């Protein structure tokens, strides 16, 4: 089973990388972009076959290592 974890900065947390991308897009002529939030995607190959257990294990991974839960939120997708 695979898990895909989407990690993004929480709303209200400044995103300087996203702002740099927005500025670059405007410089390239894409003036219709008013905001950019940049995040990361982490794909995990799991040996766990039980979906509920896999979901719980990946959530623990996120809480302990993959996401800084003070400033980031995450979403787990089992695929």
User: Which of 8-40 are b and which e, b meaning 16 or more Cβ less than 10 Å from the residue's Cβ?
Assistant: bbeeeeebeebeeebeeeeeeeeeeeeeeeebe
pLDDT tier at 58, thresholds 50, 70, 90: very high
What beta strand segments (E) does 1-79 contain?
2-9, 39-45, 72-78
Does CATH place domain 2-78 in 3.30.1490.20?
no
pLDDT tier at 69, thresholds 50, 70, 90: very high
The answer to whether residues 63 and 8 touch, using CB atoms and an 8 Å cutoff, is: no
Round the average pLDDT of the chain to a whole number and report it. Answer: 97
- Domain residues of the chain, as ranges? 2-78
């Amino acid at each position: 089973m695979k898990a895909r974890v989407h990690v993004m900065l929480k709303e209200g947390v400044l995103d300087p990388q996203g702002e740099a991308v927005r500025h670059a897009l405007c410089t390239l002529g894409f003036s219709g972009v008013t905001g950019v939030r940049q995040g990361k995607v982490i794909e995990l190959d799991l040996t766990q076959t039980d979906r509920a257990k896999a979901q719980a294990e990946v959530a623990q991974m996120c809480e302990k290592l993959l996401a800084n839960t003070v400033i980031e939120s995450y979403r787990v997708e089992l695929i």
